[in-house]
Amino acid sequence: MTDTTLNPATKIHDFILGSFRAEGQDVSITGSDDLLDLLDSLQLLRLIMELEAYYTIKVDNGDLTPENVGTIDKLAAYIDTRRSA
């Protein structure tokens, strides 16, 4: 069973750093960094799929907007709303 108590912002941050940075690359990202500049479309899709599986939620295609997924903070807030729905 997966422990889904990890804060969504931390999960997103850790997933990005663990999946998309080159080995040895020192990357610093914050909650307000633009994910649409940081990730390409395939990387963003992989991130969304990881969050859906981890938190057992469904992200609707119509919700994939800059207002919902534009930054780590916005995506984390969206994930929190989906978890409580």
CA 70 to chain centre: 10
The span from the CA of 5 to the CA of 58, in Å, is 17
Among 1-5, 21-25, 65-69, top mean pLDDT goes to 65-69
Distance CA 62, CA 67 (A): 11
Helices (H) then strands (E): counts for the chain: 5, 0
For residue 19, the model assigns a pLDDT of: 84
Residue 23 confidence (pLDDT): 65
Please state, rounded to an integer, the average pLDDT across all residues of the chain. 89
Q: What is the pLDDT of residue 7?
A: 93
